[in-house]
C-alpha cells in the first residue's frame, strides 16, 4: 500500500492539467442523453457533479443529489471496454492483383488516455479482458497497445446502485489493484476532498502518478481522514442492491442445463443482445471481409457481436442456437460457470449493467435463484 | 464473372412509393462504378432505355396488390437469374397491407368517385408469397449502403454482410443511450431487424420498426414492456401495424391486442 494524500476538490482541475501536460486525453463520466457515460472531458466542469442515478431492472433515472459530489453515482451503460476493445474497427485492407488479394494491416493510432473514475468492478473487468486479449498465445495487439497507453484513476464507490452486487462477486466496492491512482471522495460539512493513494498499477505510470502528487504539493492524509474515507467504502458495501449466491454455482448450472427455468426466461428474453453489449467482460466480435463494387478492394472489419444473435452460432448448415432458451443459457452459463473453467475466474464482476439495460428487465441474480432449490 | 460481358441488372416496380428505387438513385457517387460493372438493362426511374432479358440480377420493389401484378411477377421471375426484393412493401406487403385487416371494397367506395374503375386484390402480399426470392433487403426505405452491399456481394459471388439482429445492437455499437430504459420512451428496437444504423434512438425517439421483424422476435415480451411504460391495447395494435403489418410476427401480435381490446 502506498502513502495516502489529500487532494482538495478545488485542486481537482490541476490533476486534469497535469495529465493533459503529459499528453493524456482525459476520459471520464459525463452527462449525455439522460445517462452518465464515459467520454472525453475538457475540464472538471464536465463531470456530473451533484448528480446521481437510480437503477433497477430495465430502468435508469438521473436525479439530483443534495451535495456536489463528483462521483456520487454508479456505472452507466457503457464501460471502458469501448476504448480498449473497440465496437468496430478495420483490421486489414486488401487489393486484388492477379486473382489474389494482398492484405496490409490498418495502421491504428493509439491514443494516450487517462481514465478518470474507474470503479472497482470495472478494474476487475479490465483484468479479465487482459487475460482474454493478452494472456494467451493469441494476442490482440490493438487491445494490448491501447491498454499500455492508459493511465487509470480509480474511484472507490461512495454509493452502491440498485443493481450492483460487487460484494457477492468479491470485486468491490473498494479498488484492490490495477490502478495508477485511487481516489475516495469525502464530503464533510465544510470540506470536500479526495483521499488519494498512488499506484498498484503496472509500470512506468506509477512514477508519473507520484510526480503529479509532488507537483500538486498534496499533504499526507491524517489518520481521521483515512478512517473516514474507509468508512465511506464500508458503508457502500452494505448498500448492495443485489446479491448473488456464488457458492457452487458452476456445478449447479452444469447440472441444470435442461431445467424448465430456462424456458421461463426464454419467455421474457428478447434476444436483443443488450446485456452482452453493456457487459464489461463480454468480448465476442465477428469478422467480415467486404469487397467493394469493383471487387478489387476488400476490407476486413471487426465488430462487437453477441451470443444472442442467430448468426453468431452459424456453422456449416445453420445456426446451432436458434432459440432464446439456448442463447440465454449460453450467456448465463458462460458468465457464471464455464468462464471459470476457461479463464479461472467468474465472467461476472457484479456491475449490474445487464440488469439495468435489459429492456425486459431480466436479472441475472434473480434467474440464478431459479436454479437453487431443486438442484 | 463472365469475361467481357457485363451482368445485366433490372429494377422492377410493383405497388410501392418508389422510395427504395430512389435509394438506388441516391447512390450518386457509386452509380458510376456500378454502371462500369453492370449493364443497367431496365431501370425506368433512371432511363427509358430497356434491354431485353434475361437479366442476371433483378431488384424488385413493391408488393402485389392487383391481378396484373400477380401475373407480371411471374414473368419477372422467369427472366431473372437472381431475384432480390428491396424494401418493406416487397418483403411484407408494405403500408398498403393495412387493407388486409379490413374489407377492401369499403376503402374503394370511400376513396374513389367511381369505384367500378378500380380493379384491386383484397390483400397486399409480399413477393415471396408469389415466387421464390433469393434475398429480401429490408427497410422502409432500404438503406443505400446495404443496397450497394447486396449488389457488391452479388458481383463478387459472396454472401452479403447483412445481419438480421436487433436494432439494439446498433444502438450499443454507436454508443446511444437506450431511450426505453433511460427515458421510458417505448421502442420497437428489440424486435426490429437492424439496418438503419439505429437512427431514431440516436435522435431520441423510439424505433418504429421500419425494417420489420428481426430473427426470433419476441413481440409478446416487448408488448409487456410497453404496457409497463403505459401503452394500452390500442397503441399496441397500431404500433405493430405500420410499414410491416403484413410480416407474420407483427401481424399476429397486432391481432392479439385487437382481441384483448374488445
Ligand atoms: S458494482 Fe460495486 S464497484 Fe461496481 S459500481 Fe457498484 S458499488 Fe461500485
Ligand atoms: S437478457 Fe435482456 S438484454 Fe439480454 S438478450 Fe434477453 S432481453 Fe435482451
Ligand atoms: S454479467 Fe451483468 S452484472 Fe455481470 S459483469 Fe456482465 S453486465 Fe455486469
Ligand atoms: S433505444 Fe430502442 S433500439 Fe436502442 S437499445 Fe434501447 S430498446 Fe434497443
pLDDT band for position A1 (50/70/90)? low
Using N-to-C axis directions, what is the helix angle for B233-240 and B219-228, rounded to 10°? 140
Q: Are residues A47 and A163 in the same domain?
A: yes
| B194-207 confidence digits (pLDDT tens) | 999 999 999 999 99
Q: What is the mean pLDDT of residues A202-210?
A: 60
Of A237, A259, A274, at which residue does a domain stop?
Answer: A237
Extract the C-alpha cell encoding B206. 423510439
Which of A61, A77, A270 is facing B222, going by the closest CB pair?
A270
Smallest Cα–Cα separation from A300: which of A114, A140, A106? Answer: A106
**Which residue, by CA, sits nearest to atom 6 of ligand 3?**
A279
pLDDT band for position A42 (50/70/90)? very high
Q: Is the pLDDT of residue B1 over 50?
A: no
State the total domains in chain A: 2
Q: What is the mean pLDDT of residues A188-211?
A: 76
Of residues A99 and A232, more confidently modeled = A232
pLDDT band for position B219 (50/70/90)? very high
The count of C-alpha atoms lying within 13 angstroms of the C-alpha of B16, restricted to the half-sphere facing its C-beta, is 32
Considering only the C-alpha atoms of chain B, give the largest distance between any 2 of them, rounded to a whole number of Å.
64
Q: Is the pLDDT of residue A204 over 70?
A: no
- Supply the DSSP string of B22-36, one letter for each residue: HHHHT-HHHHHHHHH
CB A337 within 8 A of CB A249: yes
**Which residue, by CA, sits nearest to atom 5 of ligand 4?**
B168
**Which residue, by CA, sits nearest to atom 4 of ligand 3?**
A348
pLDDT band for position B177 (50/70/90)? very high
Shortest distance, CA A299 to any CA of chain B (angstroms): 12
The answer to whether the Cβ–Cβ distance between A272 and B187 falls below 8 Å is no
Q: Is A121 in the pocket of ligand 3 (CB under 6 A)?
A: no
Among A122-136, B73-87, B100-114, name the one with the lowest average pLDDT.
Answer: B100-114
Q: Is the pLDDT of residue A205 over 80?
A: no
- From the CB of residue A96, how many other CB atoms can be counted at a distance below 10 Å? 15
A86 touches chain B (CB under 8 A): no
Residue A295 falls inside a structural domain: no
CB B178 within 8 A of CB B171: yes
pLDDT band for position A375 (50/70/90)? very low
Considering only the C-alpha atoms of chain A, give the largest distance between any 2 of them, rounded to a whole number of Å.
76
Q: Are residues A221 and A268 in the same domain?
A: no
Q: What is the mean pLDDT of residues A187-212?
A: 77
Smallest Cα–Cα separation from B158: which of A322, A298, A104? Answer: A298
| B131-162 confidence digits (pLDDT tens) | 999 999 999 999 999 999 999 999 888 999 99
Which of A33, A277, A293 is facing B30, going by the closest CB pair?
A293
In order of A99, A285, A311, B110, B152, the CA distances from B160 in angstroms are 21, 18, 13, 44, 8
Residue A298 falls inside a structural domain: no
Q: Are residues A61 and A158 in the same domain?
A: yes
Q: Is the pLDDT of residue A77 over 90?
A: yes
Of A203, A237, A271, at which residue does a domain stop?
Answer: A237
Q: Is the pLDDT of residue B216 over 80?
A: yes
Q: What is the mean pLDDT of residues B2-31?
A: 87
A41 touches chain B (CB under 8 A): no
- Supply the DSSP string of A264-291, one letter for each residue: HHHHH-----HHHHH-SS---EEEEEEE
pTM of the model: 0.95
Residue A9 falls inside a structural domain: yes
Domain of residue A255: give its range.
Answer: 249-282+307-372
What atom of ligand 3 comes closest to residue A349's alpha carbon? 5
Q: Are residues A255 and A231 in the same domain?
A: no
| B39-68 confidence digits (pLDDT tens) | 988 888 777 777 788 999 999 999 999 999
Q: Are residues A314 and A194 in the same domain?
A: no
Q: Is the pLDDT of residue B2 over 50?
A: no
Q: Is the pLDDT of residue B3 over 60?
A: no
Partners of A18 in the β-ladder: none
Residue A293 falls inside a structural domain: no
Q: Are residues A315 and A216 in the same domain?
A: no
Give burial (CB, 10 Å; 0-12/13-18/19+) of A239. middle
CB under 8 Å to B49, separation ≥6 — which residues? none
Question: How confident is the prediction for chain B on average, in pLDDT?
Answer: 93
The helix (run of H) or strand (run of E) holding residue B8 is strand B8-13
Give burial (CB, 10 Å; 0-12/13-18/19+) of B93. buried
- From the CB of residue A160, how many other CB atoms can be counted at a distance below 10 Å? 23
Q: How close is the Cα of A324 to the center of ligand 3, in Å?
A: 19
Q: Are residues A152 and A253 in the same domain?
A: no
Q: Are residues A261 and A332 in the same domain?
A: yes
Q: Are residues A176 and A271 in the same domain?
A: no
- Taken in order of first residue, the domains within chain B and their CATH numbers are 8-155 (3.40.50.700), 167-261 (no CATH)
The Cα A10–Cα A8 span in angstroms is: 5
Residue A96 falls inside a structural domain: no
Residue A139 falls inside a structural domain: yes
The Cα A186–Cα A183 span in angstroms is: 9
B230: left (phi over 0), alpha (psi -120 to 50) or beta: left
Of A237, A263, A294, at which residue does a domain stop?
Answer: A237
Residue A36 falls inside a structural domain: yes
CB under 8 Å to A178, separation ≥6 — which residues? A123, A124, A126, A127, A152, A154, A200, A201, A202
The Cα A329–Cα A321 span in angstroms is: 10
**Can you say whether the dihedral through the CA atoms of B143, B147, B153, B154 is positive or negative?**
positive
Q: Ligand 3 test: best mutation among A74, A163, A284, A352, most atoms within 8 Å of CB?
A: A352
pLDDT band for position B28 (50/70/90)? confident
Q: What is the mean pLDDT of residues A158-173?
A: 97
Q: Are residues A129 and A232 in the same domain?
A: yes
Q: How close is the Cα of A106 to the center of ligand 3, in Å?
A: 32
Residue A297 falls inside a structural domain: no
- Supply the DSSP string of A29-76, one letter for each residue: EEEETTEEEEEE-SSGGGS-TTEEEEEETTEEEEEE-SS--SS-S---
A277 touches chain B (CB under 8 A): yes
Residue A92, SS3?
strand
pLDDT confidence of residue A208: 65
Question: How confident is the prediction for chain A on average, in pLDDT?
Answer: 93
Of residues B110 and A128, more confidently modeled = A128
Q: Are residues A197 and A66 in the same domain?
A: yes
Q: Are residues A312 and A231 in the same domain?
A: no
For chain A, what percent of residues have pLDDT higher than 70? 96
- Chain centroid to CA B208: 13
pLDDT band for position B167 (50/70/90)? very high
Extract the C-alpha cell encoding B132. 421464390
**Which residue, by CA, sits nearest to atom 6 of ligand 2?**
A269
Owner of C-alpha cell 435508469 = A60
Owner of C-alpha cell 411484407 = B92
pLDDT confidence of residue A193: 97
Extract the C-alpha cell encoding B39. 449493364
pLDDT confidence of residue B188: 98
Q: Is A352 in the pocket of ligand 2 (CB under 6 A)?
A: no
Q: What is the mean pLDDT of residues A271-294?
A: 96
Q: What is the mean pLDDT of residues A337-352?
A: 96
Q: Is the pLDDT of residue A113 over 80?
A: yes
Amino acid at each position: 500500500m502506498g502513502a495516502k494524500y489529500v487532494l482538495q476538490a478545488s485542486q481537482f482541475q490541476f490533476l486534469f492539467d497535469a495529465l493533459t501536460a503529459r499528453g493524456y486525453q482525459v476520459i471520464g463520466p459525463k452527462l449525455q442523453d439522460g445517462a452518465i457515460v464515459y467520454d472525453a472531458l475538457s475540464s472538471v466542469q464536465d463531470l456530473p457533479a451533484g448528480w446521481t442515478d437510480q437503477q433497477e431492472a430495465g430502468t435508469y433515472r438521473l436525479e439530483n443529489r443534495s451535495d456536489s459530489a463528483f462521483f456520487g453515482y454508479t456505472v452507466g451503460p457503457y464501460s471502458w471496454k469501448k476504448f480498449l476493445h473497440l465496437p468496430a474497427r478495420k483490421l486489414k485492407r486488401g487489393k486484388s492483383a492477379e486473382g489474389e488479394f494482398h492484405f496490409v494491416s490498418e495502421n491504428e493510432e493509439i491514443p494516450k488516455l487517462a481514465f478518470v473514475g474507474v470503479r472497482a468492478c470495472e478494474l476487475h473487468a479490465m483484468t479479465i479482458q487482459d487475460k482474454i486479449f493478452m494472456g494467451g498465445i493469441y494476442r490482440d495487439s490493438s487491445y494490448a497497445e491501447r491498454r499500455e497507453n492508459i493511465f487509470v484513476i480509480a474511484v472507490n464507490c461512495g454509493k452502491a446502485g440498485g443493481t450492483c452486487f460487487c460484494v457477492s462477486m468479491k470485486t468491490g466496492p473498494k479498488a484492490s489493484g490495477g490502478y495508477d491512482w485511487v481516489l475516495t471522495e469525502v464530503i464533510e460539512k465544510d470540506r470536500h476532498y479526495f483521499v488519494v493513494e498512488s499506484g498498484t498499477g503496472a509500470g512506468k505510470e506509477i512514477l508519473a502518478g507520484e510526480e503529479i502528487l509532488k507537483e500538486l504539493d498534496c499533504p499526507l492524509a491524517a489518520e481521521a481522514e483515512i478512517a473516514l474515507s474507509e468508512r465511506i467504502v464500508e458503508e457502500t458495501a452494505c448498500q448492495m442492491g443485489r446479491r448473488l449466491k456464488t457458492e457452487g454455482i458452476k456445478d449447479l448450472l452444469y447440472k441444470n442445463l435442461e431445467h424448465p427455468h430456462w424456458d421461463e426466461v426464454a419467455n421474457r428474453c428478447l434476444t436483443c443482445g443488450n446485456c452482452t453489449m453493456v457487459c464489461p467482460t463480454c468480448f465476442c466480435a465477428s469478422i467480415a471481409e467486404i469487397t467493394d463494387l469493383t471487387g478489387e478492394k476488400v476490407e476486413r472489419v471487426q465488430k462487437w457481436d453477441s451470443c444472442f444473435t442467430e448468426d453468431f452460432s452459424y456453422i456449416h448448415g445453420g445456426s446451432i442456437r436458434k432459440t432464446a432458451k439456448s442463447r440465454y443459457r449460453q450467456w448465463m452459463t458462460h458468465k457464471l460457470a464455464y468462464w471459470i473453467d476457461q479463464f479461472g475466474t467468474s465472467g461476472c464482476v457484479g456491475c449490474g449493467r445487464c440488469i439495468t439495460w435489459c429492456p425486459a428487465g431480466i436479472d441475472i441474480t434473480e434467474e440464478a435463484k431459479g436454479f437453487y432449490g431443486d438442484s | 464473372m463472365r469475361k467481357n460481358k457485363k451482368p445485366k441488372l433490372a429494377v422492377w416496380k410493383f405497388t410501392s412509393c418508389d422510395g427504395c428505387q430512389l435509394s438506388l438513385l441516391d447512390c450518386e457517387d457509386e452509380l458510376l462504378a456500378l454502371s462500369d460493372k453492370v449493364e443497367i438493362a431496365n431501370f425506368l426511374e433512371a432511363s427509358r432505355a430497356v434491354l431485353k432479358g434475361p437479366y442476371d440480377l433483378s431488384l424488385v420493389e413493391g408488393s402485389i396488390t392487383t391481378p396484373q401484378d400477380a401475373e407480371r411477377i411471374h414473368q419477372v421471375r422467369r427472366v431473372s437469374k437472381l431475384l432480390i426484393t428491396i424494401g418493406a412493401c416487397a418483403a411484407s406487403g408494405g403500408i398498403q397491407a393495412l387493407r388486409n385487416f379490413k374489407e377492401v371494397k369499403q376503402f374503394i367506395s370511400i376513396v374513389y368517385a367511381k369505384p367500378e374503375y378500380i380493379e384491386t386484390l383484397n390483400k397486399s402480399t409480399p413477393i415471396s408469397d408469389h415466387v421464390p426470392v433469393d434475398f429480401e433487403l429490408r427497410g422502409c426505405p432500404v438503406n443505400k449502403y446495404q443496397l450497394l452491399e447486396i449488389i457488391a456481394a452479388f458481383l463478387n459471388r459472396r454472401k452479403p454482410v447483412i445481419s438480421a439482429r436487433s436494432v439494439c445492437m446498433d444502438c450499443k455499437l454507436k454508443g446511444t443511450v437506450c431511450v426505453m430504459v433511460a427515458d421510458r420512451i417505448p421502442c420497437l428496437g428489440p424486435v426490429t431487424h437492424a439496418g438503419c444504423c439505429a437512427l431514431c434512438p440516436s435522435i431520441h425517439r423510439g424505433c418504429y420498426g421500419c425494417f420489420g421483424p428481426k430473427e426470433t422476435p419476441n413481440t409478446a415480451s416487448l408488448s409487456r414492456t410497453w404496457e409497463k411504460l403505459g401503452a394500452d391495447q390500442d397503441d399496441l395494435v397500431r404500433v405493430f401495424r405500420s410499414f410491416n403489418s403484413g410480416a407474420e410476427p407483427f401481424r399476429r401480435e397486432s391481432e392479439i391486442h385487437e382481441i384483448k381490446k374488445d
